[in-house]
């Protein structure tokens, strides 16, 4: 693992296509266009799917995976812990300081709110839109896992699942395209920086086991 790149070349190209495609889409559309386009194509199935799929970015799954690593591999645990910390700092600086109070779709489209489709059961917030913390969390988890997984097909699937978390945030009227785009970039950056921080310690024997194994070795 020490000599492996953060992600393989195939995934590098896929990420590049993603970054360029969504970046160009933002440049060619007005703020909010993607929200209206997606909202206009709502279905009962998508309402149900995205209502629950969006929870994959709320941080609980990150905590579960981190706890799993804590008891199986301390190197992976510290790697993930650093990635989570970095992602949290990135999002907090922009959401709470630099862009505090940024209107979300419900507020931005207040003059046409009656024509929007709100998913039943979802509490829609009005401010602090930029960036999407859920998307950042989803991409942080995704790229930690992608960097650790050798299965190329599984990595592509993980990447797509993370993108769907971002799309869910727009679908349920919590965020704009730029919010999920920058959130995803923050998630990738957090995983990448954490990977480089932990790379020199990859072969440390003491970090190859989890807490449960360390306890057994002392008894």
Identify the CATH number of the domain in which residue 155 sits.
1.20.144
Q: What's residue 2's pLDDT?
A: 59
Q: What's residue 203's pLDDT?
A: 85
Residue 215 lies in a domain: no
Backbone angles phi, psi at 127, to 5 degrees: -140, 180
Q: What's residue 211's pLDDT?
A: 86
Residue 165's nearest CA partner among 24, 64, 51, 32 is 51
Residue 1 lies in a domain: no
Residue 212 lies in a domain: no
Residue 48 lies in a domain: yes
Residue 125 belongs to what domain range? 9-105+113-207
Contact indicator for 146, 7 with CB cutoff of 8 Å: yes
Q: What's residue 217's pLDDT?
A: 46
List CB contacts of 12: < 8 A, sequence separation 6 or more. Answer: 5
Residue 39 lies in a domain: yes
Tell me the angle at which helices 152-171 and 44-53 cross, rounded to the nearest 10 degrees: 110
Q: What's residue 90's pLDDT?
A: 97
Contact indicator for 93, 133 with CB cutoff of 8 Å: no
Q: What is d(CA 48, CA 168) in angstroms, rounded to the nearest whole number?
A: 11
Residue 4 lies in a domain: no
Q: Which residues of the chain have pLDDT under 70?
A: 1-2, 212-219
Residue 3 lies in a domain: no
Q: H helices of the chain, where?
A: 9-28, 33-39, 44-53, 60-70, 74-92, 105-108, 133-148, 152-171, 177-198, 211-218
Q: What's residue 92's pLDDT?
A: 96
Number of domains in the chain: 1
Q: What is d(CA 158, CA 48) in angstroms, rounded to the nearest whole number?
A: 21
What is the percent of the chain with per-residue pLDDT over 70, rounded to a whole number?
95
Q: What is d(CA 77, CA 129) in angstroms, rounded to the nearest whole number?
A: 30
Q: What's residue 208's pLDDT?
A: 87
Residue 217 lies in a domain: no
pTM: 0.93
């Amino acid at each position: 693992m020490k000599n492996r790149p953060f992600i393989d070349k195939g995934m590098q190209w896929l990420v590049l296509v993603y970054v360029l495609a969504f970046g160009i889409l933002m440049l060619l559309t007005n703020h909010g266009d993607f929200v209206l386009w997606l909202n206009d194509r709502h279905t009962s199935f998508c309402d149900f799917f995205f209502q629950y799929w969006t929870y994959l970015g709320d941080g609980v799954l990150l905590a579960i995976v981190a706890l799993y690593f804590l008891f199986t591999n301390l190197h992976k645990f510290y790697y993930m812990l650093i990635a989570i910390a970095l992602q949290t700092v990135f999002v907090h600086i922009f959401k709470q300081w630099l862009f505090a109070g940024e209107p979300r779709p419900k507020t931005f489209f207040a003059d046409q709110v009656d024509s929007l489709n709100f998913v039943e059961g979802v509490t829609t917030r009005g401010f602090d839109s930029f960036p999407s913390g859920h998307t950042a969390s989803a991409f942080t988890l995704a790229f930690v896992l992608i960097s650790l997984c050798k299965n190329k097909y599984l990595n592509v699937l993980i990447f797509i699942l993370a993108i769907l978390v971002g799309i869910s945030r727009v679908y349920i009227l919590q965020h704009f395209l730029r919010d999920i785009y920058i959130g995803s970039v923050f998630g990738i950056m957090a995983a990448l920086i954490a990977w480089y921080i932990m790379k020199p310690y990859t072969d440390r024997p003491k970090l190859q086991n989890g807490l449960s194994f360390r306890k057994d070795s002392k008894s």
